[in-house]
Amino acid sequence: MPIADAIREAQSKSSWIRRMFEEGAQLKKRYGADKVFDFSIGNPDVEPPAAFHETLVRLATEDARGTHGYMANAGYPAVREALARKASSDHGVTIDGSRVVMAVGAAGGLNTVLKAILNPGDEVVVSRPYFVEYGAYIANHGGRMVLVDSKDDFDLDVAAIAAAMSPRTAAFLLNSPNNPTGRVYPASTIAALADALRAHGKACGRRPYIIADEPYREIVYNGITVPPVLSAYEESIVVTSYSKSLSLPGERIGYIAVGPEAAEPEELMGALAFSTRVLGFVNAPALMQRVVSELTEARVDVGIYAHRRDAFKSVLDGARIEYAEPEGAFYLFCKVPPKGSDGSRDDVAFTMALKDKLVLAVPGSGFGAPGWFRLSYCIDEKTIEASRPAFKAAADGWRSAR
């Protein structure tokens, strides 16, 4: 039997990251892992902090009755209270555990939110470049993604966002720090976005949500802080995870936090808990809930990522490849050099030229940004430095091609 048309189309659109990762695995088998420079996937390799291992061992060896059973779909009450305090601190608000639902990672959390708020045909506005799977998440729940270009510096173009909204607009999906650009949107931009959403709600009678996807909130550089969202806009929902801040992507643990001024909060929180159940998650992993509730102030050593970023910038500078300065996350979003005499900036062709030199990158087209490509620096500095000749050879060959 054939697969669903929607899944076939979604696979074709979202396959670049996985495709390059899988090709890298084949190249490593052929040439040896030390000869292949795989910057394709954002799989955190920095070890979790020591406090995580200590807490995990202690809680895993407890034998209290019922610790591995079902709990309320929204999660353990004590855990929700702990993470409400964390969200309150991050966003300059005061919420309690009744405004938190534990989630199966940020991806699970986003699907839970979208399931809870979307009617068929509703629209979610997204600024590009954007994380490639947003479109699939929105389509999962009958919605339609409306794409709006960012500014040249990858800040949000609030005027364009306002123009793109319609009476069917249910939400704006905000990702800061952004994947793939590393951009942290300033407080002034968040305030302008909130004003635009309020004005739209007043004009059409439906105020859209801001859904803030924040798994990289703790991964920032040079003293930058990520501005709060829950205190900036009434109808705001934050979705986050511990995949990046504690390097726990495989444990699938995160949470959803709803702002204190959201309309009809009991109905919304009930919908989130119900959606968690009927999507098949049932509840977030019990052990990991208890672990992260004790580690709200812990994080990985962000300095490791900062050193890698700087090492990679040196490699790219040596190859004369331009890039957006990442303020957060762990990606470099790079501009394809002009090719030969025609000046082409074909990102797919350039990533193939990099692959010929055993460098794996992801074309910007996969993020809605042709002419660019993404590099992940979830990889040790020795590998980054060893890739220097390959980047220079690929870029020089590309520029001289006819």
- In the chain, what are the domain boundaries? 5-48+301-400, 69-293
Considering Cα of 287, then 292, then 295, then 298, what sign does the dihedral take? Answer: positive
Distance between CA atoms of 65 and 117, rounded to whole angstroms?
36
The CATH homologous superfamily for domain 5-48+301-400 is: Aspartate Aminotransferase, domain 1 (3.90.1150.10)
Distance of CA 88 to the CA centre of its chain: 21
40, 64, 252, 307, 378 from 385: Cα distances, Å: 16, 50, 32, 12, 13
Residue 402 has pLDDT above 80, yes or no: no
Residue 387 has pLDDT above 90, yes or no: yes
Q: For residue 167, count other CB atoms closer than 10 A to its CB.
A: 11
- The predicted-structure confidence for 215-264, as pLDDT tens digits, reads as follows 999 999 999 999 999 999 999 999 999 999 999 999 999 999 999 999 99
Distance between CA atoms of 179 and 357, rounded to whole angstroms?
25
CATH class of 69-293: alpha beta
- The predicted-structure confidence for 69-115, as pLDDT tens digits, reads as follows 999 999 999 999 999 999 999 999 999 999 999 999 999 999 999 99
Helix (H, G, I), strand (E, B) or coil at 376: strand
| Mean pLDDT over the full length of the chain | 95
The pLDDT confidence band at residue 393, using thresholds 50, 70 and 90, is very high
Q: Whole-prediction pTM value?
A: 0.95
Task: Please give the single-letter amino acid code of residue 356.
Answer: D
